[in-house]
Structure 1
Amino acid sequence: MPRRLAWLSGAGGFALSPQVLANGWNMPVGVTDLSREIHSLHMTIFWICVVIGVVVFGVMFYSLFRYRRSRQPQAANFHEHTTVEVIWTTLPLLILVAMAVPATATLKNMYDTGDAELDVMVTGQQWRWRYEYLGEEVAFTSSLSTPRAQVRGEEARGETYLLDVDNPLVLPVGRKVRFLFTSDDVIHSWWVPELAVKQDTVPGFVNENWVRINEPGIYRGQCAELCGIDHGFMPIVVQAMAPDEFDAWLAERRDEAAQEALGVDRDWGQEELMTRGEEVYAAICAACHQPEGQGAPPTFPALAGNPRLQEDLGWQLDTVINGVSGTAMPAFRNTLNPVELAAVITYTRNAWGNATGDVVQPARVAERLAR
């Protein structure tokens, strides 16, 4: 269910993060018409509450001072006042109605996901995001790209520490984009304050939301639902660009996907698979199994020197493709394509001293995927 009015609540988990500090202590105005409408509604209700608070506490403190015991030791004794009772019943009702009318109009607008010009499926995964441009044959995974040396404190941390990704979500300015949210494992929450979107991704369910960005730029967010050990390493980066630039980018990614599909049928050399596999491993696998394959037993077993990995290729193929039920190992059949799967399996079988010499071809992986 869309929860745009609750998007600021996620700030509680990031009170000291660069994302929140950049926005100050108030809800950001944002870069969409709806985000500005929500901000205006938020400020209107805020000032109504301020006025109510001033009046209520003003009367309370005045009464405490004016009728203190030293001045009036004998308390007044009265039981009813019809006029006052009518006022304090009617006035709050009118205030609530005055707030409900614009809030209802905003809620109606928030739920209107129709007439979208682009559909994007957002899938939460531990601990990354997968974006699929429906009907465009373009899909990719977006993972944290902050160097691990910064995470370990070995390098200075930049302004966008833990807020950089390898593949940002690219969207066009001025077009209505409908999001479809789901998850492959646990509940995540896709939260980008500047877009006024905070939406849970729930396994087995598809939630909807939408956005129409008015200004080109880079907009950052984070997962706002505690989802496991690397919850804090699930940033979101949205790159909004002019429609013609977006169309060119989408066409380029579509061509890349087509070329990748053609790569399934050719024979790859070990060196090129190792190079590609190292990139995939760093983006997808290193968070759990560690950069040098040492793992974090018992939850994340070591890959370096793992005898079963080196001896049983069939077991590794099934493990990577289908995951392991009841463990932290997810299935990657819907996350990585055959070339990426073949590359990362080849890499792990020949890196860190695992000198098996095996070269796993994408065609073999595609055959396994088809089973």
Structure 2
Amino acid sequence: MTMPNLALWRWRSAIAGLGMMATTASAELKMNLPEPVSPLTAEIFDLHMLTTTVATIIMVVVIVLVGVTIFRFRKSKGYEADQDFNDSRFGTWGWILVPVVVLGIDLSIAGPGTKTLNNVETFEEADLTLKVIGSQWKWTYEYLDQDIRFVSTLNNEDLSSEGYLREVDNPVVLPTHQRIRFLHTASDVLHNWWVPAVAPKKDSIPGYINETWTIIEKEGTYYGQCAELCGTRHAYMPIVVKAVSEQEFAQWVAEQKQQKAAQMAEASADKQWSMAELMARGESIYNQSCAACHQAAGTGLPGVFPALKGSTVATGPVAEHLNIVINGKPGTAMAAWGGQLNDLEIAALITYERNAWDNNTGDRVQPADVKAAR
């Protein structure tokens, strides 16, 4: 093989390799919105496809015209700029027809766009109301009619896993073929609960309630993400919605109520919990609810979130520790956990924080201590 042929062979091999990589990447890359499973998201998807199609046609036409113009009227062929273009018939009609065409395109999109926006803002009687509260960096869900409340956080940060940054510990369970009202708010900064296949996105604003709705027509698991930049771990606020039949949803509600009753009975019992029991339960609660800010090792994020390891809160008076966990700290990202955790959970959490990471205070907080501090 001669040197020129060898070089050509190497170039062909490189190009072929890049082509294979591009094919593999494109097979994995989802370039469009997910398949809609509700009438409202289907309208949004159709509007998205309409605007994308129109924009693509305009782009192709403009590129072709610019390319032809550059090629045919290039300086090397002796062409010079027309100094009287605006006074010519073509120039005059061009300035008239181009705005008319653009206005026609805008009106062709404005019609279905207005209809879709009106439907987004249509509020009718719902079969189920779900309050969604965004916090750094978790979602709290309240089923207002079923008296169910839970926190949902990321539970998959394994880079090699298929569900990397997408799976949560507590997915939202919703029934199909029922009108569902979403009430959106936030406890700290702006968030945005968005599951493209299920419901339109709308900002979650502290101290304000926004509303959206959906009717899910197909059972399945659907994924979403916080769509508003909310802080350093914005990418770690996934959403998982499990759409099930109405019978399965009723069964799930019954199970959640039984579980809540058992937890409340356990938390209100006069049992004296051992250090080992409190530490095990507290570690689980800390990793689920607190580690995103204060880190798994209790080191915090310098300049953003304080460390608990060796801190004056975790090693100081128990009463102050209880107060900040139950009531939060105004003006900071420290939320009030008194309404989200029961007495036993708060007792276990504080016991863990006061004895983990070499804090070793030896303090053992009981549910009765939490009850007295509320």
What TM-score bracket applies, with the shorter chain setting the length?
0.7 to 0.9
Q: 1:48 to 1:329 in 2, by over 3 A?
A: closer
**Deviation of 1:220 (Å):** 1.7
Alpha carbons 2:268, 2:343 under 8 Å: kept: no
- Quote the Cα distance in structure 2 between the aligned partners of 1:21 and 1:185: 39
Deviations 1:192-248 (A, max 9, x none): 232253222111111111122222222122222222222222111111111111111
Of 32-41 and 255-264, deviating more is: 255-264
Q: Aligned runs of 1:81-120 on 2, under 5 Å?
A: 81=89, 86-120=96-130
Q: Which amino acid aligns with 1:241?
A: V
Gaps of 5+ in 1: 1-19, 151-155
- Quote the Cα distance in structure 1 between the aligned partners of 2:51 and 2:303: 51
Partner of 2:14: none
Deviations 1:9-56 (A, max 9, x none): xxxxxxxxxxx9966222233222222222222222222233333344
Matched, 1:31 2:37: yes
Q: Secondary structure at the match of 2:197?
A: helix
Partner of 1:10: none
Matched, 1:187 2:190: yes
How big is the alpha-carbon RMSD for the aligned residues of Structure 1 and Structure 2?
2.8
Partner of 2:142: 132
TM-score scaled by length of structure 1? 0.82
Q: Secondary structure at the match of 2:221?
A: strand
Q: Which amino acid aligns with 1:218?
A: T
Alpha carbons 2:300, 2:308 under 8 Å: kept: yes
339, 346, 353: which is aligned to 1:348? Answer: 353
- Quote the Cα distance in structure 1 between the aligned partners of 2:28 and 2:140: 26
- Quote the Cα distance in structure 2 between the aligned partners of 1:45 and 1:86: 24
Partner of 2:231: 228
Q: 1:119 to 1:83 in 2, by over 3 A?
A: same
Deviations 1:303-354 (A, max 9, x none): 3444653441101001111222344433222332333212211222333444
- Quote the Cα distance in structure 2 between the aligned partners of 1:64 and 1:290: 58
- Quote the Cα distance in structure 2 between the aligned partners of 1:181 and 1:235: 16
- Quote the Cα distance in structure 2 between the aligned partners of 1:354 and 1:57: 66
The structure with the larger Rg is: 2
Q: 1:358 to 1:96 in 2, by over 3 A?
A: same
TM-score scaled by length of structure 2? 0.81
Deviations 1:147-203 (A, max 9, x none): 5xx4xxxxx620111112111111112222111111111112222232253222111
Alpha carbons 1:173, 1:212 under 8 Å: kept: yes
Deviations 1:115-170 (A, max 9, x none): 221111111111111111112110011111125xx4xxxxx620111112111111
Of 288-297 and 227-236, deviating more is: 288-297
Partner of 1:273: 278
**Deviation of 1:281 (Å):** 0.9
Q: Secondary structure at the match of 1:162?
A: coil
Deviations 1:79-102 (A, max 9, x none): 254765554343333332222111
41, 48, 53: which is aligned to 1:42? Answer: 48
Partner of 2:20: none
Alpha carbons 1:264, 1:366 under 8 Å: kept: no
131, 140, 146: which is aligned to 1:121? Answer: 131
**Deviation of 1:296 (Å):** 4.0
Matched, 1:293 2:301: no
Across the two proteins, how many residue pairs are aligned to each other? 343
Partner of 1:336: 341
Of 293-302 and 282-291, deviating more is: 293-302
Of 48-57 and 203-212, deviating more is: 48-57
- Quote the Cα distance in structure 1 between the aligned partners of 2:244 and 2:28: 22
RCO comparison, higher one (Cα < 8 Å, 6+): 1
- Quote the Cα distance in structure 2 between the aligned partners of 1:311 and 1:53: 65
Of 318-327 and 86-95, deviating more is: 86-95
Partner of 1:153: none
154, 158, 162: which is aligned to 2:161? Answer: 158
- Quote the Cα distance in structure 1 between the aligned partners of 2:143 and 2:81: 75
Alpha carbons 2:199, 2:213 under 8 Å: kept: no
- Quote the Cα distance in structure 1 between the aligned partners of 2:316 and 2:83: 90
Aligned-pair identity in percent equals 43
Alpha carbons 1:299, 1:328 under 8 Å: kept: no
